[in-house]
Structure 1
Amino acid sequence: MLLPSPIEVGRALLKHGPRLGEASLTTAFAALTGLGIAAVFGGAAGVLFARSPALERAFAPYTLLLQTVPVVAIAPLLVVWLGYGLKVSVCTAALVSFFPILTATVAGLRATPPDQLDLLRLYGATEAQTLWLLRLPSAAPFVFAGLRSSAGLGVIGAIVGEFVGSNGEPVSLGYLVLRSARSADTPLTFAAIVASTALALTFYATLRRVETRLIGAWHPGAS
């Protein structure tokens, strides 16, 4: 059978539960590390682009070019440069997570209400104070939306990196999907896919909860 039944997938989840758990932790580490790197660099680049339209115009062609390059095409090169291991999956996760965060940060910072900006200028606030007290809180719903999008993409990016850069030590979800598919163990393949989906949904739900707790009082309508 090419497609296993839900019962077979459930049995595979129970049978390979410990191994799937270990693999999920490996993939989660790679995805979260990549997401963290993307958040730092994407957020910093977003602040620079929002403050300097000229800088954004200068780098826009390069960011667009990098965004359109498939991560599947880059992953084998990362193996050549970095070797096998977690470094490849961390890099692929960071690459696919970077651009949604960058775009969301720029959009959020530019959506700051002009009247509030004028009020802070009237009180003599510096650029740093304006950024910290007004622009970043106003941009928070946008940034969290970008983070939620990047969370799922980060899992996908990590798994793509594991397809080409994992040697099974430590075991990861991408490695399990690839190896079980090659051996025609479709129940395990789908069990690993279910675990990957659950991982991405967990990241999304966690970020949603963090967003609600941190900025729900400031932005009740944040989505």
Structure 2
Amino acid sequence: MHKSLTLSTAILLVLAFALPAMADSVDIGNRNFERAWRVYVTRNDEKAAEYFKASADAYAQALGEDPVSRTMNFQSSLDKAGIAMYFAGQYDQSIKTLTEAQGEKDKIWDAALFIALSEGRKGDKEAALKAFDKFLEANPSQRFITSEMSRVLPGVKDGSIKLSDAIDAIERETQHQFVQNVLRYNNRNGMIPASEACNGSYWWRYNSAPCSGGFLRYF
């Protein structure tokens, strides 16, 4: 009897440790996205790239699970995953994931933006321009990004500016935009929509980290 109980306890302990490890791909993706975003908005691009890659890989694993986690099906989760995939250089997967995030609404401005950037990195001018139009249709109020688009996209259309140069410029202003958003709005929840406050589902648009009381929990 004692041996049987000991064996049963050992099996339960193994399962207790193994099951969370198998089920935590979404959480791993989220944790690494938060790490990436905190350093991205301080312009520590090398470290951000490392965390974005870890985040993208975890999200890809989560999206490949059967069934896919309910949390991973949220539009905001897909949006985060697609952004991480863009910065990890996984452009096809980024486009696929962000297109799914958009659904029929087509009003998720950062999804449209990173689809456009991904299409541009792939060299597809028409697809990139179409996605940039969807970004503008979403009325994003992101003036650094839209100003740079106004400066470089006419040149892309008439051939006077290389698509790759335009994408480089818009990506720089994208980071500039998020840095400025954080400097201006970080944790001032009353000044921005609830969904974009630091405790909202799209917290990264105006914040360096979610405000769920866990700033130090990943360190």
Report the TM range for the smaller structure's normalisation: under 0.3
Relative CO higher for 1 or 2, CA cutoff 8 Å, sep ≥ 6?
1
TM-score, structure 2 as length reference: 0.27
- TM-score normalized by the length of structure 1: 0.26
